């Protein structure tokens, strides 16, 4: 399956975007082609008014730079309006049900909701009680928009997706889970190097193995051999408590220049950001010539706009 031979329809048959498990490889291509079109227009100062007259609620349970700004700017650029709703400032923080919250957003005319910092069970519960599109802007187990943006970035930089190898080094977290599903569904091989006890969700690994090679190891050199992309993320995810023991165990999994040197000579470095320089990645790698982290971060804007345009009607 070659994305460059795929003919996009610019359509999505889904109501919600909750996790990549729900998308086929072709459906992932649809989002990437839509993001490519959005980016092309953005570059020449054009933006389709896809959200004119619509309001999108951003119901956020944790802080954010990229997700919040790229959604707020993207919604404005598409001619829509947004409500930024910190979860702690709603009655959810005092025990109101997800069902009632979902009903209220819809009754007040909100056209879609982006949830961030919820558990996977709560994301599913919200979607089950909602008649408007629900988009997962990061949950405990998944970060679908991040990985759609990452795949779009790889396509731009490498010119293809199939027959590439991505090596993820570090904590087997929500980003790793979504990378496994996203990469495997577009026929990209993925290796994950994590210390024992910090590997990604086994059920997700088994799902990914149905589509491409998914290798799980604790050996960094094995993971990065022949890799086209080296990827890492923070050691402590946002909803997790600071954990010095975990940081100590993961400290051996820092992406250094020596790690990059074991991959292909034209390998690129990716990170979903925020970056903790000197922790999960050495400063000279994230700020070095192989790093494409700012392209990755910019592409969150174009993917978000593509997702909103495809889901909100
Ligand atoms: N990658 C990502 O989700 O960034 P923020 O936490 O800044 O939104």
Q: Whose CA is nearest to atom 4 of ligand 1?
A: 66
CA 133 to centroid of ligand 1, rounded, Å: 21
| Nearest alpha carbon to residue 152 among 30, 309, 312 | 30
CA 20 to centroid of ligand 1, rounded, Å: 17
CA distance 273 to 30: 25
List b or e across 230-265, with b for residues whose CB sees 16 or more CB atoms inside 10 angstroms: bbbbbbbebeeeeeeebbebbeebbbeeebbebbbe
Contact call for residues 58 and 83 (beta carbons, < 8 A): yes
Query: Domains in the chain, please, with CATH?
Result: 3-143+300-311 (3.40.50.1370), 146-297 (3.40.50.1370)
pLDDT below 50 — which residues of the chain?
A: none
Instruction: Kindly state if the Cβ of 64 falls inside 6 Å of ligand 1.
Output: yes
Instruction: Kindly state if the Cβ of 70 falls inside 6 Å of ligand 1.
Output: no
- DSSP lists the bridge partners of residue 57 as 83, 113
Atom of ligand 1 nearest to the CA of 138: 3
Contact call for residues 214 and 208 (beta carbons, < 8 A): yes
CA 138 to centroid of ligand 1, rounded, Å: 8
Q: How high is the pLDDT of residue 160? A: 98
Contact call for residues 139 and 30 (beta carbons, < 8 A): no
Contact call for residues 124 and 67 (beta carbons, < 8 A): no
The three-state secondary structure class of 213 is coil
Atom of ligand 1 nearest to the CA of 137: 3
Q: How high is the pLDDT of residue 1? A: 85
Residues in the chain: 313
Q: 97-101 — which CB contacts under 8 Å span 24+ positions?
A: 98/122, 98/125, 98/126, 98/129, 99/125, 99/129, 101/59, 101/126
CA distance 303 to 124: 22
Instruction: Kindly state if the Cβ of 270 falls inside 6 Å of ligand 1.
Output: no
Instruction: Kindly state if the Cβ of 66 falls inside 6 Å of ligand 1.
Output: yes
Instruction: Kindly state if the Cβ of 272 falls inside 6 Å of ligand 1.
Output: yes
């Amino acid at each position: 399956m070659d994305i460059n031979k795929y003919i996009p329809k610019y359509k999505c048959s889904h109501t919600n975007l909750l996790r990549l498990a729900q998308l086929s490889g072709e459906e992932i291509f649809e989002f990437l082609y839509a993001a490519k079109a959005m980016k092309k227009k953005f570059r020449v100062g054009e933006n389709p008014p896809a959200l004119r007259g619509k309001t999108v609620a951003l119901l956020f349970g944790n802080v954010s730079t990229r997700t919040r700004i790229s959604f707020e700017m993207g919604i404005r650029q598409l001619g829509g309006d947004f409500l930024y709703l910190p979860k702690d400032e709603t009655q959810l923080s005092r025990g109101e049900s997800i069902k009632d919250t979902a009903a209220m957003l819809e009754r007040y005319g909100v056209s879609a909701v982006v949830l961030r910092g919820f558990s996977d069970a709560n994301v599913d519960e919200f979607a089950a009680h909602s008649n408007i599109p629900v988009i997962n802007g990061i949950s405990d187990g998944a970060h679908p928009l991040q990985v759609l943006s990452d795949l779009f970035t790889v396509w731009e930089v490498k010119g293809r997706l199939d027959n590439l190898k991505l090596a993820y080094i570090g904590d087997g977290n929500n980003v790793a889970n979504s990378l496994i599903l996203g990469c495997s569904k577009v026929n990209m091989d993925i290796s994950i190097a994590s210390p024992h006890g910090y590997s990604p969700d086994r059920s997700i690994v088994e799902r990914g193995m149905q589509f491409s090679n998914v290798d799980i190891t604790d050996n960094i050199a094995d993971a990065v051999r022949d890799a086209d992309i080296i990827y890492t993320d923070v050691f402590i995810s946002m909803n997790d408590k600071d954990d010095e023991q975990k940081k100590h165990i993961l400290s051996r999994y820092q992406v250094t220049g020596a790690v990059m040197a074991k991959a292909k000579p034209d390998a690129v470095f990716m990170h979903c950001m925020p970056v903790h320089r000197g922790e999960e990645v050495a400063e000279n790698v994230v700020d070095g010539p192989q790093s494409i982290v700012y392209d990755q971060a910019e592409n969150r804007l174009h993917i978000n706009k593509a997702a909103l345009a495809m889901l909100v009607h």
